Chain A
Amino acid sequence: MSGTVLDHWLVRGYLRELDAVMRGLPAAQARELREQITAHLDDALRPDADDYEVAATLSRLGSPADLAAEAGAASGSPGPRSTLSGWRLATVIAVPMVIAAVLGGQQISSDARTAVTFGRDQHLAQLNAAVVRLTQNLEDERDLSAGYVAHGKAGPVPVTLADARTATDAAARAVQADAAGVGAGYQPGTVQDLKSLLTSLTDLGDIRTAMSSRAWPASQVIQVYTDNVIGPVITFSAAVGAGTDDTRLQVTVTTLAALLGVENDLSVQRAVLYAALSAQPPKLLPPGLTSLTQAAQQQQADQIDFNASADTAEQQFFSNTVSGSAVDRASMQETLAEAAATANPQAPLTRNTGLDAATWYGDMSTTIDDTRKVTDQAAGQITARANTLKSNATRRLLLTSIITLLLLVLLFVTALARPLRKLVNQSGRRSVILGRG
């Protein structure tokens, strides 16, 4: 016969609760009270008592919390109420809060790092936009300089060249201003490339002086500008995407680098032929012809790079933008010049070809300007993307901080609510076991 009322589900629940609330009492006292209560129930209830009888008896007995409190008050022991002040307080309040604080803190710090990284990307994108403008101004200055030198430096520096130099200087100042602050925390390679760019800008004055005072041929002017200044500038622009975690940003930077290559290749072609047509007499000698065809080949290679990284819409935009009669005319003039120079390098280039320095420069400039529209769009996309990433990261950081804070407050409040509810229960309210039937 296992028939004892102590196996009744209501009694078991009651005793379990009693054991729980007596955890703060001395062991002997808890044992005694439990023994008294089980004896009471054994005496008071038949083994086959129904739920209602059991519930009524338990209800008359009073809540386990009341009993434990009474026993605690009797012994002068801390009692169940104040067990929360010891190590249980730590488990109930401190541990979850510490865990929440640590996890939240980790997330915040990770988000903060992301925000800082995207902040750097944003800074670099802004700097890059200035660098793209500088590249374009440098190309113009180089090409006009080549023509001026080829023309025999007759007379003062032409207004167009002077204007180009002024524009370059303004763009260089903008780059120098935006470059401030790029250093610690940025990709070392990017920092190094920026340093090279800034150093090359200080060479610009020397190049201009040397061009006037020394007997540099046009080809050397083109080479010095390209290798010493424009090269480092384009290299930096390609390095802007090196540190970013965002694939879209990286791809757009690659696209832009290819476009800057195309643009510069076109510009070199403009410079070489412009110098040849500006020479007295106009001639495209074999080294010049080689430079021209090399630049055209490089343009094809860069165009392939562009197609590889640009999406269909960007490719479409390129072919729609870099087109028109001026573009076709420039292409025709170049083919014509190459054919004439190949046939007879010594013959004046303008004879029987209809070629002329100003027309060539104008038509090729239109082609280059069209390309720059595509370049500018890519640079704009980079800036926009970087701005979006930065503001998203900042918003996320803010959100994580707020959520963590709310979580901590919530944990604190719920942790306090339990002991408070206990206090309320102990000061008179009975647990209504009857309500469960």
Chain B
Amino acid sequence: MAGEGGLTELRRGVLGPCVLALLELRPRFGLELVRDLAAADGLLTSDGTVYPLLSRLRDAGLVTSEWRDDEGERARRYYSITEAGRQSLTAFRADWAWFSATVGGVLNHAAVHAGTEEKGGHQ
């Protein structure tokens, strides 16, 4: 249960940047976004959570939305990334690289350390 909760928190933190990354390529409508995110295994706990997130990103000025009435299609709300969104995404990419490296290093080091302690005790 603790692991599940931790994963949920992690997902919550990275989902926003992932949405921004998808929108960086091209504008998308809701279901499109959901399907692309769902394709990345384990990223979504439930499809619906994307929508409050989109509203949040829009309120933060990272995303805009507009109705598009393409021929032969129904009217859909399309989301696109803003300039602020791009900057935020760039910043996150840098942070993530550093963060994942640091966390990975600590986790690996801890595992190695724990292994030596088991074998030889204190030095």
Contact = CB atoms under 8 A, between A and B. Distances in A.
> By CB atoms of chain B within 10 A, which of A37, A63, A70, A73 has the most?
A70
Contacts of B113: none
Given A29-B55, A70-B49, 17 more contacts: A35-B77, A36-B77, A39-B29, A39-B31, A39-B77, A40-B31, A43-B31, A60-B38, A60-B46, A60-B47, A62-B46, A70-B48, A70-B52, A70-B53, A74-B52, A74-B53, A74-B56
A73 to B, nearest CB: 8
Interface residues of A, number: 25
Contacts of A57: 47
B31 A66 contact: no
Q: Is chain A's interface secondary structure helix, strand, loop, or mixed overall?
A: helix
Given A42-B74, A428-B8, A36 B30 contact: yes
- Which size class do B's interface residues fall under? 20 to 34
A44 interface: yes
A62 B30 contact: no
B21 interface: no
B51 A67 contact: yes
Interface of B: 1, 4-5, 8, 29-31, 34, 38, 45-49, 51-56, 59, 74, 76-77
A39 B48 contact: no
A42 B31 CA distance: 9
A177 interface: no
Interface in A39-65: 39-40, 42-44, 57, 60-63
A71 B52 CA distance: 5
Contacts of A63: 46
Given A43-B31, A44-B31, A428-B5, A33 B74 contact: no
Interface of A: 29, 32-33, 35-37, 39-40, 42-44, 57, 60-63, 66-67, 70-71, 73-75, 428, 430
Given A39-B77, A40-B34, A430 B46 contact: yes
B47 A62 contact: yes
B54 A36 contact: yes
A115 B74 CA distance: 75
A37 B48 contact: yes
A42 B8 CA distance: 28
Contacts of B30: 36, 39-40, 43
A40 B49 contact: no
